[in-house]
Protein backbone atom coordinates (compact mmCIF):
# COMPACT_ATOMS: atom_id res chain seq x y z
CA UNK A 1 0.00 0.00 0.00
CA UNK A 2 1.27 3.45 -0.87
CA UNK A 3 1.08 5.85 2.10
CA UNK A 4 0.99 9.02 0.01
CA UNK A 5 -2.42 10.78 0.22
CA UNK A 6 -1.99 12.10 -3.34
CA UNK A 7 -1.74 8.57 -4.80
CA UNK A 8 -4.70 6.51 -3.55
CA UNK A 9 -4.68 2.78 -4.03
CA UNK A 10 -7.46 1.42 -6.26
CA UNK A 11 -8.54 -2.18 -5.87
CA UNK A 12 -10.80 -3.73 -8.52
CA UNK A 13 -13.44 -5.97 -6.97
CA UNK A 14 -15.76 -8.53 -8.53
CA UNK A 15 -18.86 -7.17 -10.29
CA UNK A 16 -17.04 -3.93 -11.20
CA UNK A 17 -17.05 -2.43 -7.71
CA UNK A 18 -14.02 -0.19 -7.16
CA UNK A 19 -12.58 0.61 -3.75
CA UNK A 20 -10.25 3.57 -3.35
CA UNK A 21 -8.25 3.62 -0.12
CA UNK A 22 -6.78 6.98 0.87
CA UNK A 23 -4.78 7.32 4.09
CA UNK A 24 -5.53 10.43 6.15
CA UNK A 25 -4.66 11.89 9.54
CA UNK A 26 -7.69 12.57 11.77
CA UNK A 27 -8.17 13.98 15.28
CA UNK A 28 -9.99 11.78 17.79
CA UNK A 29 -11.43 13.02 21.08
CA UNK A 30 -14.17 12.21 23.54
CA UNK A 31 -17.21 14.45 23.57
CA UNK A 32 -19.90 14.74 26.25
CA UNK A 33 -23.53 13.94 25.48
CA UNK A 34 -25.22 17.32 25.88
CA UNK A 35 -28.76 15.99 26.16
CA UNK A 36 -27.81 13.68 29.03
CA UNK A 37 -26.15 16.51 30.92
CA UNK A 38 -29.20 18.74 30.48
CA UNK A 39 -31.59 15.99 31.62
CA UNK A 40 -29.39 15.27 34.64
CA UNK A 41 -29.37 18.97 35.57
CA UNK A 42 -33.16 19.16 35.23
CA UNK A 43 -33.68 16.09 37.45
CA UNK A 44 -31.25 17.35 40.11
CA UNK A 45 -32.90 20.76 40.26
CA UNK A 46 -36.36 19.12 40.38
CA UNK A 47 -35.20 17.23 43.47
CA UNK A 48 -33.92 20.50 44.94
CA UNK A 49 -37.34 22.08 44.27
CA UNK A 50 -39.03 19.19 46.09
CA UNK A 51 -36.70 19.53 49.07
CA UNK A 52 -37.20 23.31 49.23
CA UNK A 53 -40.99 22.90 49.06
CA UNK A 54 -41.16 20.69 52.14
CA UNK A 55 -38.28 22.20 54.13
CA UNK A 56 -40.07 25.47 54.89
CA UNK A 57 -43.35 25.89 56.78
CA UNK A 58 -46.52 26.00 54.67
CA UNK A 59 -47.65 29.44 53.52
CA UNK A 60 -51.32 30.21 54.26
CA UNK A 61 -51.70 31.99 50.90
CA UNK A 62 -50.29 29.21 48.65
CA UNK A 63 -50.57 25.47 49.13
CA UNK A 64 -47.52 23.20 48.77
CA UNK A 65 -48.57 22.08 45.27
CA UNK A 66 -48.46 25.64 43.94
CA UNK A 67 -45.11 26.32 45.58
CA UNK A 68 -43.69 23.06 44.23
CA UNK A 69 -44.98 23.82 40.70
CA UNK A 70 -43.43 27.28 40.73
CA UNK A 71 -40.10 26.03 42.08
CA UNK A 72 -40.17 23.08 39.67
CA UNK A 73 -40.63 25.32 36.63
CA UNK A 74 -37.78 27.58 37.64
CA UNK A 75 -35.59 24.69 38.84
CA UNK A 76 -35.93 22.66 35.64
CA UNK A 77 -35.06 25.67 33.48
CA UNK A 78 -32.04 26.50 35.63
CA UNK A 79 -31.02 22.81 35.75
CA UNK A 80 -31.08 22.46 31.96
CA UNK A 81 -28.97 25.62 31.63
CA UNK A 82 -26.46 24.49 34.27
CA UNK A 83 -26.22 21.03 32.67
CA UNK A 84 -25.55 22.56 29.26
CA UNK A 85 -22.85 24.85 30.68
CA UNK A 86 -21.16 21.91 32.44
CA UNK A 87 -21.22 19.93 29.18
CA UNK A 88 -19.70 22.87 27.27
CA UNK A 89 -16.91 23.25 29.83
CA UNK A 90 -16.16 19.52 29.69
CA UNK A 91 -16.16 19.65 25.90
CA UNK A 92 -13.54 22.41 25.93
CA UNK A 93 -11.40 20.52 28.46
CA UNK A 94 -11.50 17.28 26.46
CA UNK A 95 -10.67 19.13 23.23
CA UNK A 96 -7.18 19.71 24.62
CA UNK A 97 -6.61 15.97 24.96
CA UNK A 98 -7.44 15.17 21.33
CA UNK A 99 -5.08 12.77 19.59
CA UNK A 100 -4.08 12.52 15.95
CA UNK A 101 -4.35 9.05 14.46
CA UNK A 102 -3.87 7.54 11.03
CA UNK A 103 -7.08 6.36 9.32
CA UNK A 104 -7.99 4.95 5.93
CA UNK A 105 -10.78 6.54 3.93
CA UNK A 106 -12.47 3.96 1.72
CA UNK A 107 -14.52 5.19 -1.25
CA UNK A 108 -16.62 2.51 -2.91
CA UNK A 109 -17.93 3.08 -6.43
CA UNK A 110 -20.70 0.82 -7.68
CA UNK A 111 -21.38 0.79 -11.44
CA UNK A 112 -24.80 1.80 -12.67
CA UNK A 113 -27.19 -1.07 -13.41
CA UNK A 114 -27.00 -2.21 -17.02
CA UNK A 115 -23.53 -0.79 -17.69
CA UNK A 116 -20.60 -3.05 -18.37
CA UNK A 117 -18.18 -3.14 -15.42
CA UNK A 118 -15.21 -3.12 -17.81
CA UNK A 119 -16.41 -0.07 -19.77
CA UNK A 120 -16.79 3.29 -18.04
CA UNK A 121 -16.68 6.84 -19.26
CA UNK A 122 -13.19 7.67 -20.46
CA UNK A 123 -11.89 4.12 -20.02
CA UNK A 124 -10.40 1.94 -22.73
CA UNK A 125 -11.89 -1.47 -23.61
CA UNK A 126 -10.10 -4.49 -22.23
CA UNK A 127 -7.77 -6.25 -24.70
CA UNK A 128 -9.37 -9.15 -26.51
CA UNK A 129 -12.96 -7.88 -26.24
CA UNK A 130 -15.17 -6.93 -29.17
CA UNK A 131 -16.33 -3.42 -28.45
CA UNK A 132 -18.70 -2.36 -31.23
CA UNK A 133 -19.66 0.95 -29.62
CA UNK A 134 -16.45 2.65 -30.89
CA UNK A 135 -16.24 1.13 -34.36
CA UNK A 136 -16.87 3.32 -37.40
CA UNK A 137 -17.98 0.54 -39.76
CA UNK A 138 -21.39 0.67 -41.39
CA UNK A 139 -23.53 -2.46 -41.91
pLDDT one-digit tens code per residue, 55-108: 988 888 888 889 899 999 999 999 999 999 999 999 988 888 878 888 888 888
Q: pLDDT confidence of 40, banded at 50, 70, 90?
A: very high
Lowest mean pLDDT among 13-27, 37-51, 57-71, 119-133: 119-133
Is the predicted pLDDT of residue 28 greater than 60, yes or no? Answer: yes
Q: pLDDT confidence of 114, banded at 50, 70, 90?
A: low
* Mean pLDDT value across residues 110-131: 59
Is the predicted pLDDT of residue 33 greater than 80, yes or no? Answer: yes
By C-alpha distance, which of 3, 23, 22, 19 is closest to 11? 19
Q: What is the pLDDT of residues 8-27, one digit of tens each?
A: 555 555 567 788 888 888 88
Q: pLDDT confidence of 109, banded at 50, 70, 90?
A: confident
* Cα–Cα distance measured from residue 130 to residue 127, given in angstroms and rounded to the nearest whole number: 9
Residues near 4 by beta carbon (within 8 Å), at least 6 away in sequence: 23
Q: What is the per-residue pLDDT for 25? A: 86
This prediction has a pTM of 0.55
* Cα–Cα distance measured from residue 114 to residue 16, given in angstroms and rounded to the nearest whole number: 12
Angle at 23 between CA 17 and CA 28, to 5 degrees: 120
3-state secondary structure 21-83: EEEEEEEECCCCCHHHHHHHHHHHHHHHHHHHHHHCCCCCCCCHHHHHHHHHHHHHHHHHHHH
Amino acid sequence: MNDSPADPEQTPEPDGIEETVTPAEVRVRRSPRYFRFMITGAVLFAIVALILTFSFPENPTYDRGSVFGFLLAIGVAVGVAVGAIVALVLDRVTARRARSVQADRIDVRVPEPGSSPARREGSQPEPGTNDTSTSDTQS
